Structure formats: C-alpha cells, structure tokens
Amino acid sequence: MALWTSRIALFLVLLTSATPGWALMIETPRKEFTEREKERILLPCKRATPDRRIRCEVREMKRAEAEWGMSNPVNAYDVYNWMDLGGQQLRNRLQQERLQAFTEHWRQTRKVYSAFEPTDDVNTQRLPYVNAIRESRLDCMYARHGHARALCFDIQIDLSQKMMRTPPR
C-alpha cells in the first residue's frame, strides 16, 4: 500500500511541475514576420554554406520569435534605467551620498574662528631668514629693469641658498 501511495504522490508532483511549462507553451502567441522582417532576421545566414544555412535560418527565426515576445517599447526606457549601463544612476547616488556625508561631517566638526587656538610649534614658526629673503627680493624690484635687476636676483638667490644651508641658531 505504501508503494502505491508513494507512486501516486510522485506522479502528482511530476504532473504539477510539468503543467506550468505546458501552459506557457500553449499561451504564447507566435509572431508572423513579414518578408522584409525575415530578410533582416536571416541576414547573418547569408554567408553560411548551403548545408548549414537551413539550421542557421531555423535558429535565427527561433531567436527572433523569443526576442519578439520579450520586447515592449512602452517600458524600454524603464529597462534601460534598470540596467544602468553607463552607471549614471550609480554616480548620481554616490554623489548624493557623499554630499550628505560631507555636510553631516562638517555639521559635527565645524569650528568658528573664535574656537581656534594659535599654536606655536615648528610647523607654524617662520624661519628667521624668510623675512630677510623677502626683503632682499623687494629691494631687487627697486633696481633698474633689465640686466641690473637680473644680477640682483641672481645675487639674492645665492645668498638665500646660503642662508637656507646654515643651521638655525
């Protein structure tokens, strides 16, 4: 008895799994292509040898029928947007996320001018010869234009390089 019930259960499972496929095959409409459409569809088969041309034509017609059932020009742009081939939506979303993260970061870490405390360390101290170099460059600007000013700048460059080489006191 258990053998018969298992066979019946197996038959019902196979029957229920097979019916949706059959129902889809019956319900799908077949597209009748015009002669002009057939020429366009069978264009890749022109170069095939005569013995392979028939198989190629059958294959291309099946492919065209399958694609025809899926194509829908009304929602084509929705499909293209969903595919996001150029990554435009991804870029826009990333830009928006980064902008929000940036504004949130600065909202939390923003300091007003009065909140800054001046620091006095090696990075903020001006080296002693910097002012002397700037003054000597300004003095060279008062020299006569041309060769005299160029000589002044050459001398100033040599002196500034010597000042930079000597260690600070």
Report the number of distinct structural domains present in the chain: 2
52 belongs to a structural domain = yes
Q: What is the pLDDT of residue 84?
A: 78
Q: What is the pLDDT of residue 19?
A: 47
Domain boundary among 40, 72, 104: 72
- Global pTM reads 0.29
95 belongs to a structural domain = no
- pLDDT tens per residue, the chain (169 residues)? 666 667 676 666 555 555 444 444 434 456 788 999 999 999 999 988 888 999 999 999 988 887 876 666 666 676 677 777 877 888 888 889 999 999 999 988 887 777 777 777 877 777 778 888 989 999 999 999 999 999 999 999 999 999 888 876 6
Rounded CA separation 42/57 (Å):
6
Helix or strand holding residue 36 (H, E): helix 35-41
* 3 state SS of 151: helix
What is the DSSP secondary structure assignment for residue 47, as one 8-state letter? T
* Domain extent for 51: 29-72
How far from each other are the two terminal CA atoms of the chain, in whole angstroms?
A: 107
1 belongs to a structural domain = no
Q: What is the pLDDT of residue 27?
A: 43
% residues pLDDT > 90 (the chain): 34
Rounded CA separation 96/86 (Å):
17
**Per-residue pLDDT tens for 104-142?**
999 888 877 777 777 778 777 777 788 889 899 999 999
96 belongs to a structural domain = no
110 belongs to a structural domain = no
Q: What is the pLDDT of residue 82?
A: 72
Rounded CA separation 120/94 (Å):
40
Domain boundary among 54, 72, 90: 72
Q: What is the pLDDT of residue 88?
A: 80
Structure tokens at 35: 């002669």
Rounded CA separation 56/62 (Å):
10
152 belongs to a structural domain = yes
